[in-house]
């Protein structure tokens, strides 16, 4: 057994796949009755090719399957031979073309239609090529394999050349193993119903540990976590958690489930718990010596789950700008910190133009907006503010030395409702507003942004300019 050997077997039972996987991890399911195996390296376990074929037939017979086995140097030759000859067929290495030579031409057409030896499956083209070969007086694969490739390509194109290669026993592409469908799921039937999160946490711990170990063995992570709680009322309480990053830490997964169930508790006692995940390739972490490490996704997910349980759904995350002229308008987006890029500053790049001629970053004026505007009393002279005072601690106020404005903004005046809490934690973005804004510098050096609500004639301090 030199090189790589392949085997093909045919039967009318789906148990053939189980038999094939007991012998080789690399199998290709060509159809409901045909499977190709990579037998490379099995000689140390079972012996020569004939011993492997005999063991395959005995294992299948123990399960009530009657199969044919063919072993050859290529899977193309094995698939053709297993359809033509019953029992066991063994082809010595290098004799594939000689073994295929007496086979009828129609066998190749039947195999191509049944399992598509070539990734491009063209039934009409294959039928036409087969009919052309018959008109030329060709009846066997050996006669087709003896044709000159250049002449066949000139008359039939690349499709005819592919037939020549298959008739010689050449594989059109490497074997692509079929990956078995694997379920990442754990279930537990309880002897007594449980009610409450504390006893449920112990049950989830027993389920998450083997599930995490299964994910680790397969180098997978959980993308979506599904929890199904079968209740004594015959109802099923289902929850699905979309995780921000692939993770498989059992403690983190259990914590996320408990925090979610704290906000969405089941309506009755639980007598069966099922936990399943949608797997995804595990993440690869590459840390840098030039940037600070960010918190792990497990820590961030746990923190966000605790905040959501405390504040409510949609009230924690990252603020995102929206397309609106409304001052302070924002939306709440999921918290997903981006990796920090390393700073590439050179000599003289800090604080403006350096000694070596480097150009610094442009100065940016930032407004530190207050979460809630601070009420203020403003003295007006000649239509301009000249003094501002407030009762808030740490803000002395005083005489206004410089003032720029006013900038008048208004919008959503067509909506009559006002003061409704927003869904994302702020005020509703559809609330009408009508205000005049001023940027003022007071005598103590602080710079504030003031605004006057025109409908109520009330002044507020919106934030501090740095």
Which pair of tokens denotes residue 139? 């009846």
The two three-digit tokens of residue 205, written as one number: 């711990």
Q: How far apart are CA 448 and CA 466, in angstroms?
A: 9
Per-residue model confidence (pLDDT) at position 135: 85
Q: How far apart are CA 50 and CA 43, in angstroms?
A: 10
Average confidence (pLDDT) over 383-406? 87
Amino acid 358: pLDDT: 44
Assigned token pair, 430: 């559809």
| pLDDT value of position 397 | 80
* DSSP character string of 127-193: HHHHHHHHHTT--BHHHHHTS-HHHHHHHHTHHHHHHHHHHTT--SS---PPPPP---EEEEEEEEE
pTM: 0.49
Select from 39, 33, 68 the least CA-distant residue to 52.
Answer: 39
Q: What is the pLDDT of residue 62?
A: 82
Q: What is the pLDDT of residues 217-235, one digit of tens each?
A: 888 888 899 999 999 999 9
pLDDT reported for residue 276: 93
The answer, yes or no, to whether the previous bond of 406 is cis (omega within 30 of 0) is yes
Local structure of residue 302 (DSSP, 8 states): H
Would residue 325 be called left, alpha or beta, if left means φ above 0 and alpha means ψ between -120 and 50 degrees?
A: alpha
CA angle, residues 52, 53, 57, in degrees to nearest 5: 115
CA 347-352-354 angle, 5° bins? 35
Q: What is the mean pLDDT of residues 241-265?
A: 87
Residue 351 gets the label, from left (phi > 0), alpha (psi -120 to 50) or beta, of left
pLDDT in tens, 147-205: 888 888 888 888 888 888 888 888 777 777 777 777 889 999 998 999 888 899 999 99
Residue 356: its pLDDT value, please? Answer: 41
Comparing CA positions, the residue from 200, 319, 340 lying closest to residue 260 is 200
Confidence of residue 429 (pLDDT cuts 50, 70, 90): low
The structure tokens 């997910």 sit at: 301
Q: What's the confidence (pLDDT) of residue 114?
A: 63
Burial class from Cβ neighbours inside 10 Å (0-12, 13-18, 19+) for residue 441 reads middle
Domains and CATH numbers, the chain: 6-167 (3.30.70.270), 185-281 (3.30.1490.100), 367-465 (no CATH)
Region of poorest pLDDT, from 3-12, 170-179, 455-464? 3-12
Lowest mean pLDDT among 89-93, 286-290, 426-430: 426-430
Q: Give the residue with greater pLDDT, 11 vs 135.
A: 135
- 209 alpha carbon, distance to own chain's centre: 22
- In this prediction, residues 376-398 reach a mean pLDDT of 87
Strand ranges for 310-397 from DSSP E: 318-320, 331-333, 367-381, 384-389
Percentage of residues of the chain with pLDDT beyond 90? 15
């Amino acid at each position: 057994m030199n090189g790589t050997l392949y085997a093909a077997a045919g039967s009318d039972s789906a148990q053939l796949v189980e038999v094939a996987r007991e012998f080789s991890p690399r199998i290709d399911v060509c159809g409901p009755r045909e499977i190709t195996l990579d037998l490379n390296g099995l000689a140390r376990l079972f012996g020569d090719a004939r011993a492997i074929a005999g063991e395959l037939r005995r294992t299948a017979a123990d399960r009530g399957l009657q199969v044919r086995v063919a072993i050859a140097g290529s899977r193309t030759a094995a698939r053709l031979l297993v359809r033509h000859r019953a029992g066991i067929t063994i082809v010595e290495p290098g004799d594939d073309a000689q073994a295929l030579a007496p086979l009828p031409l129609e066998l190749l057409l039947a195999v191509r239609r049944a399992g598509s030896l070539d990734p491009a499956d063209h039934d009409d083209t294959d039928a036409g090529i087969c009919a052309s070969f018959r008109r030329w007086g060709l009846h066997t694969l050996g006669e087709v394999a003896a044709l000159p490739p250049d002449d066949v390509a000139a008359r039939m194109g690349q499709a005819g050349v592919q037939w020549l290669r298959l008739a010689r026993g050449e594989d059109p592409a490497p074997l692509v193993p079929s990956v078995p469908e694997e379920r990442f799921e754990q279930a537990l039937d309880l002897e007594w119903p449980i009610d409450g999160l504390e006893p449920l946490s112990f049950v989830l711990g027993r389920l998450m540990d083997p599930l995490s170990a299964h994910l680790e063995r397969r180098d997978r992570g959980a993308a979506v976590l599904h929890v199904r709680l079968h209740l004594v009322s015959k109802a099923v309480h289902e929850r699905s958690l979309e995780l921000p990053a692939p993770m498989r830490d059992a403690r983190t997964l259990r914590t996320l489930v408990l925090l979610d169930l704290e906000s969405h508790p089941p309506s009755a006692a639980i007598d069966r718990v099922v936990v399943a995940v949608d797997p995804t390739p595990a993440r690869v972490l590459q840390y840098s010596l030039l940037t600070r490490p960010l918190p792990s996704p497990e820590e961030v997910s746990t923190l966000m789950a605790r905040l959501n349980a405390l504040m409510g759904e949609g009230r924690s995350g990252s603020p995102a700008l929206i397309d609106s002229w409304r001052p302070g308008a924002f939306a709440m987006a999921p918290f997903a910190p981006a990796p920090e890029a390393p700073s590439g500053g050179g000599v003289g790049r800090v604080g403006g133009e350096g000694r070596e001629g480097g150009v610094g970053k442009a100065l940016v004026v930032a407004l530190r907006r207050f979460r809630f505007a601070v009420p203020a009393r403003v003295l007006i002279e000649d239509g301009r503010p000249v003094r501002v005072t407030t009762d808030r601690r740490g803000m002395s106020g005083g005489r206004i030395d410089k003032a720029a404005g006013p900038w008048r903004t208004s919008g959503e005046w067509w909506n009559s409702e006002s003061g409704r809490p927003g869904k994302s934690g702020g005020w509703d973005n559809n609330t009408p507003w009508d205000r005049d804004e001023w940027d003022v510098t007071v005598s103590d050096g602080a710079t504030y942004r003031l605004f006057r609500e025109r409908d109520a004639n009330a002044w507020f301090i919106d934030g501090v300019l740095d």
